[in-house]
Structure 1
Amino acid sequence: GTCVNVGCVPSKIMIRAAHIAQLRRSSPFDAGIPPTSPTILRDKLLAQQQARVDELRHAKYESILEGQPAIATLHGTARFQDARTLAVTLHDGSSRQVSFDRCLIATGASPSIPPIAGLKGTPYWTSTEALEADTIPPRLAVIGSSVVALELAQAYSRLGSQVTLVARNTLLSRDDPAIGEALTAALREEGLTVLTHAQVSAAAYADGCFALSTNQGEIRAERLLVATGRAPNTAALDLHAAGVQCDAHGAIVVDEHLRTNVPHIYAAGDCTDQPQFVYVAAAGGTRAAVNMTGGEATLDLSAMPAVVFTDPQVATVGLTEAQAQRQGIQTDSRTLSLDNVPRALANFDTRGFIKLVAEAGSGRLLGVQAVAAEAGELIQTAALAIRNRMTVQQLADQLFPYLTMVEGLKLAAQTFTKDVTQLSCCAG
């Protein structure tokens, strides 16, 4: 369980605490609410964080297993002997064979470490150690440019570290380029050093300090976080013994029914070639269970929302312009800056934008990309609109509650036919 133990839950607790620290230090209302420099007691924050993790793990996982007499739980390491048998090495050292009619593989993923000279053997952090650390280092170097790297880099900066972020390309380079540009500007404005197109060639550790050699000079920091992606936990499973196929990255290849190439063996979650999100894993596991017991459930990822919990947040769903055009779809797009969204104006925080990608001619909504405070709270509305094949005009005609961020979707949709700068605040 990456999410509850070392992923979504502890990271979002830490990010929220860092957000509170930042608001005490600086906000758009400093003239009327004078800021103060917060004291960060990391050990107490960590205890609060871990208590909630322990609570959720027991309530949502351990106690459920314990309360199901039809489920036998073995604690150990499993590998395939053949397509119908597992060999399990239990934690007490004993072994056991398990035969099965159906099998679901859900072994998750682990941090992927790049082959940087000198890195092996140093006390670098992965996201796991970063979330469990009981002190805030004076300086933190972060290698990575995607979700985990960005979320934790900003959180540590807000909790008191001087952070240098080293990105091999641009930030979130797989998304619309405007997203990376907006986030880079926001992080730099907060005081993070963001190095893009930076290559780390070597790492060294001595006297409690890391030294990173890069094409943009040397970086020194007391701690180093390596957050360069996650690799499927499949290498030790002996999948070849069962005939299960993986892709070049070791991810198990599954179809929309979550079946592998071996009809009675299924897989779900981060060990597969599907997107690494907990809600995709959960949905995949549910559908696999249905299909393993005779059903024909499918997992449709065509309108899969995603959120990066930086500040401002990044939220996306559907196709970018580039993705649509690679599929041969002609697009018509509009980008709405947040100084046109009343909620953002009322918050005195107009960083970011909302972009709608539509099919040229029909106006059918294909994708939405947003950089905004609480962007994650508006993206599901966009996902539902895409799922229901709504046009931007139909979206513009919907009633949206005034002074909400989600109203920005309506305003962005209105820009296809109107000049929203000439509308009253809550014009329908």
Structure 2
Amino acid sequence: MNDVKTRHIAVIGSGGAAMAAALKAAERGARVTLIERGTLGGTCVNTGCVPSKILIRAAHIAHLRKVSPFDSSLSAQVPRVNRPALLAQQQARVEELRDAKYAGILRDHPAITVVHGEARFVDGRTLTVALREGGEQAVRFDRAFIGTGARPAFPPLPGLAETPYWTSTTALASDTLPERLIVIGASVVALELAQAFARLGSRVTLLARSRLLSGEDSAVGDAVEAAFRREGIEVLKQTQARRVDYFDNLFIVDTNAGKLRADRLLVATGRTPNTEALNLASLGMETARGAIRVDAHLQTTVPGLYAAGDCTDQPQFVYVAAAGGSRAGINMTGGEATLDLGTMPAVIFTDPQVATVGLTEAEALEQGFSVESRVLDLENVPRALVNFDTQGFIKLVAERDSGRLLGVQAVAGDAGELIQSAVFALRARMTVQAIGDELFPYLTMVEGLKLCAQTFTRDVTQLSCCAG
């Protein structure tokens, strides 16, 4: 094994996973060549988390100006949405963050060399890069990291490829606001963007093959569906598109529920790993539908080659990608780091938000736990009452005999802010009794965790508003 200080590491990609791997390896004394075929920064800052959350926040502000629980005392007014101006504001922040957190860091880093081009493995120690400006460059390495991310999937739907349909990427980059929008999909991206466009003024129809958020506790999807229907979003469950046509600037979607028409069609049915150009099969690297299999140390099935992020079989969250990249950077430079996803939180930025960690009740039962769970409606959470917004719930799943917390599911305003407290409770193997005895600040949504924990042993409706 080479001395770490002379080790050369090739990093393919420049998103959350790749940047974390490159920076950690360089910090530990390695020389790094980072190869990027497109725009620096990857999905999150360019076409994912950052632009989508800006759009969602703008849509939230537009919604509150139009309707709120205080309309009887505060005047409401339907806002005029200037989509081109909103897009310009969004992209300016994207460019600012891309330069500050990616391009600027790489420009000034003495141990990292950036090569612009598309990488392909020749063997387990050599890459060839088709350079953006022409020609090829060979890159020899001691270790390599793959952080090439994923792109929106293209479902095999007859007629779709011949139409100018939207993916999440093109929807976020569009300067138009369609009068009518059909969204195919019922998971995170589909739901977030469907609600955002509806709040900005589009009439939205959502097509769900089964139900909303089919991978979550059914109560979660039901709560989001109810919120969507209250806002006028048409939700068609058990509905599958059979064909798509495009005539005279109009999409016609043939479904088992009849034909639907709209000005725009957004397809958000999953993502595909960007691995097909890497020549992984020649190395004997194991993949599943293009996703690279990695172990707890982020090593692929080929010794010396590591990967993390959306191009792997790990959960597709940027913080998982960054954590995996950082740990891979340690391991590529002689360390021993693992990635534990046992207490991984997940947040969906609908309104109300969805936040989860740990096991659902069904998952706990499948794993052989004897389970006791409680659901606290937000009518019992003082923060929700003073907000005049009691849509949603908090659910705690616990081991019956010990009371140890196994999982939390929350549908609430700012659910994403409360879930990290649940992460710490799970990590510490706390019981619901211990959570119920903790001090929580009054008139916060996170107090709902304490109140839900207390329902295991008492009737919280009979407590005073800030009882301990």
Could you tell me the TM-score, scaled by structure 2's length? 0.91
Q: Which position in structure 2 is the counterpart of 1:321? A: 361
> Is the partner of 1:145 in helix, strand or coil?
coil
**Cα RMSD between the aligned structures?**
0.6
Q: Please tell me the residue identity of whatever aligns with 1:167.
A: A
1:252-274 CA-to-partner distances (Å, cap 9, x unmatched) read 00011101111200001000000
- Measured in 1, the distance between the counterparts of 2:46 and 2:255 equals 33
Q: Is the 8 A contact 1:10 1:131 kept in 2?
A: yes
Q: String of CA shifts for 1:312-371, please: whole Å, max 9, x gaps.
A: 000000000111111111110000000000000000000000000001100000000000
After alignment, is 277-286 or 228-237 more displaced? 228-237
Cα distance in 2 for partners of 1:366, 1:309 equals: 23
Q: Which residue of 2 aligns with 1:332?
A: 372
Q: Is the 8 A contact 1:83 1:241 kept in 2?
A: no
Identity of aligned residues (%): 67
Q: Name 1:352's counterpart in structure 2.
A: 392
Q: Counterpart of 2:101?
A: 60
Q: Shift of residue 187 of structure 1?
A: 0.2
- Tell me, yes or no, if the aligned pair for 1:21 and 1:38 is still in contact at 8 Å: yes
Structure 1 partner of 2:39: none
Q: List aligned pairs for 1:3-18, cutoff 5 A.
A: 3-18=44-59
Whole-Å separation in 1 of the counterparts to 2:394 and 2:258: 36
Q: 2:163 aligns to what?
A: 122
Aligned partner of 1:404 in structure 2 is 444
Kindly report which structure 2 residues correspond to 1:29-428, keeping only aligned pairs within 5 A, or say none.
29-247=70-288, 249-428=289-468
1:242 deviates by: 2.1
Per the TM alignment, residue 235 of structure 1 is displaced from its structure 2 partner at its CA by 1.1
Quick check: 1:316–1:379 contact (8 Å CA) kept in 2? yes
User: In structure 2, what is the Cα distance between the partners aligned to 1:101 and 1:244?
Assistant: 17
CA distance in 1, matches of 2:461, 2:384: 15
CA contact (8 A) 1:253 1:260 kept: yes
Deviation of the 1:36 alpha carbon: 0.5
**Aligned residue for 2:27?**
none
> Hey, what's the Cα distance between the residues in 2 that align with 1:269 and 1:347?
38
Q: Is the 8 A contact 1:334 1:416 kept in 2?
A: yes
Q: Higher mean Cα deviation, 284-293 or 72-81?
A: 72-81
Residue segments in structure 1 that go unaligned for 5+ positions in a row: none
Q: Please state how far the C-alpha of 1:283 moved relative to its aligned partner.
A: 0.2
SS at match of 1:237: coil
Moved more, 231-240 or 55-64: 231-240
Q: Is the 8 A contact 1:83 1:243 kept in 2?
A: no
Rounded to whole Å, the distance in 2 between the matches of 1:93 and 1:31 is: 65
> In 2, distance between residues paired with 1:191 and 1:349?
18
Cross-structure match for 2:31:
none
* Count of equivalent residues: 427
How big is the shift at 1:208? 0.4
SS in 2 for 1:236: coil
| 1:243 CA drift (Å) | 2.1
Provide the C-alpha distance between the structure 1 equivalents of 2:382 and 2:125, rounded to a whole number of angstroms. 60
Question: Is contact 1:317-1:367 (8 Å) kept?
Answer: yes
Q: RCO higher in 1 or 2 (8 Å CA, sep ≥ 6)?
A: 2
- Secondary structure of the corresponding residue to residue 325 of structure 1: helix
8 Å contact kept, 1:316–1:367: yes
Q: TM-score, normalised by structure 1?
A: 0.99
Contact 1:28 1:349 (C-alpha < 8 Å) held by counterparts = yes
Q: Is the 8 A contact 1:251 1:273 kept in 2?
A: yes
Q: Secondary structure at the match of 1:75?
A: strand
